[in-house]
Amino acid sequence: MPRVLPVCDDGAMGFAEHLERHFPDGSHAVIAPVRGDVEERLPGFRVWRIAPADEGKPWVYATCGAAQSATAGETGAEYVLLAPEQDPILAEMLAAVAIFNAQADEGLGVGSVIALPRPWLRGSFANHLLVVPPYGFEPGLEVYEDEEAGRRVVVLWLLPITAAEAQYARENGHEALEKLIEDSRANVAHPLRPSLV
pLDDT at 145: 80
Q: pLDDT at residue 194 above 80? A: yes
In the chain, where are the structural domains located? 10-110+129-159
Percent of the chain with pLDDT over 70: 91
Dihedral sign of CA atoms 84, 88, 89, 95 in order: positive
Mean pLDDT of 154-158: 94
Please determine, for residue 196, whether its predicted confidence score (pLDDT) is greater than 90: yes
Query: What does the pLDDT read at residue 72?
Result: 66
SS3 of 175-193: the string is: HHHHHHHHHHCCCCCCCCC
Q: What is the pTM of this model?
A: 0.88
